[in-house]
Amino acid sequence: MLSVPDQFSIGSTPIIPSTVLAPMAGVTDTVFRRLIRQQGGCGLIMTEFTSSHGVVASLRRKKPSKTEKRYLVFEPEEHPISAQLFGADPAVLADAARHCEDLGFDFVDINFGCPVKKVVNCNGGSGCLRDMPLVDRLLKAVRSSIKIPLTMKFRTGWNERELVYRTMGQLAEDNG
């Protein structure tokens, strides 16, 4: 029987215990994340998935927007913490990731898994799984824009007949 290791690392950051709190829309705000962290059962916590366009719009206003205040605020005791972003524009996603790094996040995670219609219709979340060249461009743009580790969440495929998990894994490896 396989056992779960006590810890793992992302880059040089140890994740102890080796569990990750899934980013859940409408649930994983800073209060919930701190509650989970205080329980001692989660080594890595993530923000709710956040629109890269919303983050970049906040930057253009030169003051924190509702998006930033709601999704990208965290307390020191939440480290290690990852900002999860979604989007389909490489430049916008890269700018949003850079901003998350500047805010002090330990990692950036790209959401290629959300199946919600309004996200998919914008080619975000799992909608990106229909376009592997776009995924590659997104990963290249974000990876080159940040120094902190980059991870990604994805589904096995767009549907049962269009499985892309091997390609996604290879793209992740190829893009560091």
Cα-based distances in Å from 14 to 71, 72, 143: 24, 22, 20
Helix (H) or strand (E) holding 120: helix 117-120
Q: Is 125 exposed, middle or buried (0-12, 13-18, 19+ CB in 10 A)?
A: buried
What is the dihedral sign for C-alpha 143, 113, 85, 23? negative
128 is catalytic: no
Among 100, 114, 122, 128, which one carries the catalytic annotation?
114
Cα-based distances in Å from 84 to 14, 50, 51, 71: 19, 6, 9, 9
Alpha-carbon distance 110 to 97, whole Å? 9
Token code pair at residue 20: 């990750």
Alpha-carbon distance 92 to 113, whole Å? 19
Q: Which residues are catalytic?
A: 114
